[in-house]
Amino acid sequence: MVDRMQRWVSAGHKAAPIEKMMPPVIHALGHKDCELIQRDRRALEIHNLTEAGVIHPTEQHMMEFNDLLTQSYLWVLGSYEIIRSICERLEGDPRHSIAREAKHVFERVRMPLAKMATASRYRADSPIAYPALNLDCGIAWQVQESVFITRHELSDTFLNFLEAL
């Protein structure tokens, strides 16, 4: 996790020429990403132990899972706003296309989470992003019958985008 956090720190500094106040926010989102990845692993451990009949989920487990889901939801909203802001500021810049691509990836989940509506480029999607637990990555959202987008995929998209700036 130290390596991933270092990537967030380095990548966050790349946003400073765009807006000097972005790096601290990006660093905080990166820290939250690393925390959520660890919490996803814990949720998957509990799920696997429950499925194996080793434990029965407790009220505390359910509260932890609900908090993980809420924190993941808020992380998506906050990350989208940073990407959107960078995209706006890079209008006319050659890097605008990579910003727009990252924004489009996030829109698919962000629109149904925040507005309970589909993003215009994903009309076949549900207007509601249903929470799910991806057995490889943790928290995910179902946007179509067989399409799930994980928070971890979104964080990789965000981090790779920043590194490409």
Structure tokens at 136: 């490889």
| pLDDT computed for residue 57 by the predictor | 92
| pLDDT computed for residue 1 by the predictor | 81
Q: What value does the mean pLDDT take over residues 36-44? A: 98
Does the CA dihedral 22-11-133-2 come out positive or negative?
A: negative
3-state helix, strand and coil shares in percent for the chain, rounded to the nearest 5? 65, 10, 25
Domain ranges of the chain: 2-164
Structure tokens at 9: 């720190």
What's the predicted TM-score (pTM) here?
Answer: 0.96
Asked if residue 98 lies in contact with residue 75, where contact means CB atoms within 8 angstroms, the answer is no
Structure tokens at 133: 């637990």
CA of 91: how far to CAs of 84, 87, 122, in Å?
11, 7, 23
- Tell me which amino acid residue 152 is: H
Condensed to tens digits (0 to 9), the pLDDT of residues 84-126 reads 999 999 999 999 999 999 999 999 999 999 999 999 999 999 9
